[in-house]
Structure 1
Amino acid sequence: MKRLLTLLVPVLLALATGCASQTLLGAEDRTKLQRDLTTGPTSVRYLKASSYITPFFGDASKRLLTPYPPEEVRLLNDTKGNPINPGVVQALVPAGSKARILKVEFPTAWVLAERVLYSPRTQPWVYLDVEGAPPGPPVILVLSPQLKTKEDVLAELDRHLVEHDPAQRIVKFQARFQEAIRQKKVLESMPEAAVEMSWGAPERIRRELNGQQVLQEWMYPGDKRRVYITDGLVTRVDEGTPAAAKP
Structure 2
Amino acid sequence: MKRLLAVLLALLGAGCKSHTQIAPGDRAALEQTLSGPEADRFLRGSMYVTPFFGDASKRLLTPYPPDEVLLLDDTKGQTLNPGPIEATLPAGSRARIRKVEFPTAWVVTERILYSPRTLPWVYVDVEGAPKGPPLVLVLPGNLKTREEVLAEVGRSLAAQDPAAQLAALPEPVREAVRQKKALTDMSAEALEMSWGTPETIRRTLEGTVRNEEWIYPGGRRRAFLTDGRLVRVEEGPPPAK
TM-score interval, smaller chain: over 0.9
Superposed, 1:181-220 pairs within 5 Å as: 181-220=177-216
- What SS does the aligned partner of 2:57 have? strand
- Residue 25 of structure 2 corresponds to residue 28 of structure 1: yes
For 1:245, the equivalent position in structure 2 comes to none
The equivalent position to 1:134 in structure 2, one of 111, 130, 133, is 130
Q: How far is the alpha carbon of 1:70 from its aligned partner?
A: 0.3
- What SS does the aligned partner of 1:222 have? helix
Superposed, 1:1-247 pairs within 5 Å as: 11=9, 14-15=12-13, 18-41=15-38, 43-240=39-236
In 1: Cα distance, 2:44 partner to 2:8 partner? 36
> Which runs of 4 or more aligned residues in structure 1 lie more than 6 Å from their structure 2 counterparts after TM superposition?
7-10
In 2: Cα distance, 1:167 partner to 1:146 partner? 32
- What SS does the aligned partner of 1:148 have? coil
**AA at the equivalent of 1:131:** E
**AA at the equivalent of 2:167:** V
**AA at the equivalent of 1:74:** L
What is the aligned-residue RMSD (CA, Å)?
2.0
Q: How far is the alpha carbon of 1:13 from its aligned partner?
A: 6.0
In 1: Cα distance, 2:49 partner to 2:204 partner? 35
Comparing 113-122 with 22-31, which one deviates more in the overlay? Answer: 22-31
* 1:58-116 alpha-carbon deviations (Å, 9 max, x no partner): 11100000000001101001122221100011110011111100000001111111100
**AA at the equivalent of 1:19:** C
Residue 11 to residue 62, structure 1, CA distance change in 2 (3 Å): farther
User: TM-score, normalization: structure 2?
Assistant: 0.93
User: TM-score, normalization: structure 1?
Assistant: 0.91
- What SS does the aligned partner of 1:112 have? helix
In 2: Cα distance, 1:10 partner to 1:142 partner? 29
* 1:111-134 alpha-carbon deviations (Å, 9 max, x no partner): 111100000000100000011110
* 1:36-78 alpha-carbon deviations (Å, 9 max, x no partner): 211132x211111111000000111000000000011010011
Q: Do 1:187 and 1:237's aligned partners in 2 also have CA atoms closer than 8 Å?
A: no
Residue 179 to residue 235, structure 1, CA distance change in 2 (3 Å): same
Residue 104 to residue 11, structure 1, CA distance change in 2 (3 Å): farther
- What SS does the aligned partner of 2:218 have? coil
Residue 8 to residue 239, structure 1, CA distance change in 2 (3 Å): farther
In 2: Cα distance, 1:192 partner to 1:228 partner? 10
